[in-house]
Structure 1
Amino acid sequence: MSWFIRFNKPYDVLPQFTDRANTDSPRSTLSDFIDLPGVYPAGRLDRDSEGLMLLTDQGKLQSQISDPKHKMAKTYWVQVEGTPDEAALKTLRNGVELKDGLTRPAKARQINEPEMLWPRTPPIRERKTVTDSWLELTIREGKNRQVRRMTAAVGLPTLRLIRYRIGDWTLDDLEPGHWDSLPMPTLNAAPQRKRDRRPRR
C-alpha cells in the first residue's frame, strides 16, 4: 500500500523522524506521532512553526511537492507584533529584499484570528504595551525561514507561524499532533524536452 498523509505538526517538534544532533537528550520528532514504514516529509517546516506537513512513501510525489521549481503555493497564518499598514502589505506582495535576494511576489492580507486556532504549548510571549495581529501570507518559494524574515523586514516580528495550506491540501478538521490518509494524487507529467530541429551536417 502506498501512503500519502497530512500531519498537523505541533510547536517544538522537529520536522524529521530522528534527532541526530542531540542524541543525549532527544527532542520530539515526527516518530513520536507517526508510525508508518518508509514515509518521509515532502518539504520541511521549522521546529518553531506549526501546521500542515505532507508525507509520502512515493519519491516522485515527494519531489513534486517539495521542489521549488514546481512553485507550489503555501499559505501561512502569521501572528505578528504590531498592525500592518498598507505600505507593509504592499511590500510583502511585491517582494521583500532579504540577504539572499528579493522574494517573489506573494499574496498578503490582514485577517481576524483564525477560528480553528488551537492553544500553543508554550503560549507565545505577550507584551501588554504592544498590539498583535494576524496575516495570511501565500508564497511560492522556500527560502530558509522566509516568512519570519519577510515580516521582520517590514517591521512586524513573527510571534506564531502556522502553515495552513500546501497546494490543494489544508489543515481543515485536523487536530494538532494528528494525521490522516489522503487519496494519492496524480503526478504531473514531466515537461518534454524540445527536439533539436537543426539540420545535421
Structure 2
Amino acid sequence: MPATPRRPAAKRRVAKAPPATPRLLLLNKPFDVLTQFNDEGGRATLKDYVDVPGVYPAGRLDRDSEGLLLLTNDGRLQARIADPKHKLPKTYWVQVEGEPSDEQLQRLRAGVELSDGPTLPAECRRLEPPLLWARHPPVRFRKQVPTAWLELVIREGRNRQVRRMTAAVGLPTLRLVRVRIGPWGLAELQPGQWREVPAAL
C-alpha cells in the first residue's frame, strides 16, 4: 500500500516581541474624525492629527464621538487596554435630550437591558454645563428642547454602548465626550492635540 502522505506540521504562532521603545499617546479626538489612519472617502482620520509612525488605536471611539483615544506601538499593551475582560473604567460626559429624573439616573446606575443583554452597573451623576463649555466648545445647540449633561462611567466596551444606554431610559444622546480611560485622562488637551505618557499599565 502506498504510504499515507504526512500532513505538514502546523506552524506555531510566535508572539510578537514588544517594541524596543514602547510608546503610548493620549489624543483628544475631535468630532467627525474616524478612528483609523486611512479613508478612501477622503474623510478626516487620525493621520490628520498624529504624525507618529507605528502607533495604532487601543480601542475605538465612534466618528460622532469625541475625546480621549489611546494609541500605542505595543501590541500587548494595546490588547490590555482594549480587552473588555480587564474592565478598565471609561468616563464619559454625555449631553442628553430632556431633563433626567432620579428614576432614569438610577436605571443607568443599576444596569440597562439592551438588545445584546443587560449592561453592568454604571456610575452616573449630573454635571453642570459650564464645566464643559470652558474646555469643550459645544458642537450643536438645542434651542427648543431642554438638555442636560451627565457623567457616566462604564466598564464594558460594547458597540455604541453609552448612546444605547441613555436611549433605553428615554434620554437620547446628543453629544458624547470621553474624558478618561483607566488611569489616563484628557487633562488640558484640546481637540486635535496629543501628548505622550509612559507606556505602562
1:26, distance to aligned residue in structure 2 (A): 1.1
Match of 1:178 in 2: 193
Matched residue count: 179
Distance (Å, rounded) in 2 between the aligned partners of 1:104 and 1:146: 11
Tell me by how many angstroms 1:34 deviates.
Answer: 0.5
Look up the match of 1:118. 136
Pairs within 5 Å for 1:92-171: 92-113=108-129, 114-115=131-132, 116-120=134-138, 123-128=139-144, 130-171=145-186
With the length of structure 2 as denominator, give the TM-score of the two structures: 0.86
Asked if the contact 1:6/1:182 (under 8 Å) is kept, the reply is yes
Distance in structure 2 (CA, Å) of the matches to 1:103 and 1:152 = 13
8 Å CA contact 1:17, 1:29 repeated in 2: yes
Per-residue deviation, 1:36: 1.1
In the other structure, the counterpart of 1:59 is 75
Structure 2: state its 5+ residue gaps.
1-20
Residue type of the alignment partner of 2:147 = D
Partner residue of 1:189? none
Moved over 6 A (4+): none
Unaligned runs of 5+ in 1: 187-201
Partners of 2:33 and 2:177 in 1: CA distance? 13
Q: Please give the root-mean-square deviation of Cα atoms over the aligned residues, in Å.
A: 1.2
**Residue of structure 2 in register with 1:11 after alignment:** 31
The Cα shift of 1:127 comes to 3.5
Matched residue of 1:63: which SS?
helix
Say if 1:125 and 1:159, in contact at 8 Å, map to a contact too.
no
CA–CA distance in structure 1, aligned partners of residues 47 and 157 of structure 2: 24
User: Max radius of gyration: which structure?
Assistant: 2
- Identity in percent: 58
* 2:37 aligned partner, one-letter code: F
Deviation of 1:2 (Å): 2.5
Q: For the residues of structure 1 that align with 2:135 and 2:117, how far apart are their CA atoms?
A: 33
Q: 2:107 aligns with which of 91, 95, 109?
A: 91
Aligned partners of 1:45 and 1:146: how far apart in 2?
Answer: 11
Per-residue deviation, 1:37: 1.3
One-letter identity of the residue aligned with 2:157 = G
- 1:118 deviates by 2.1
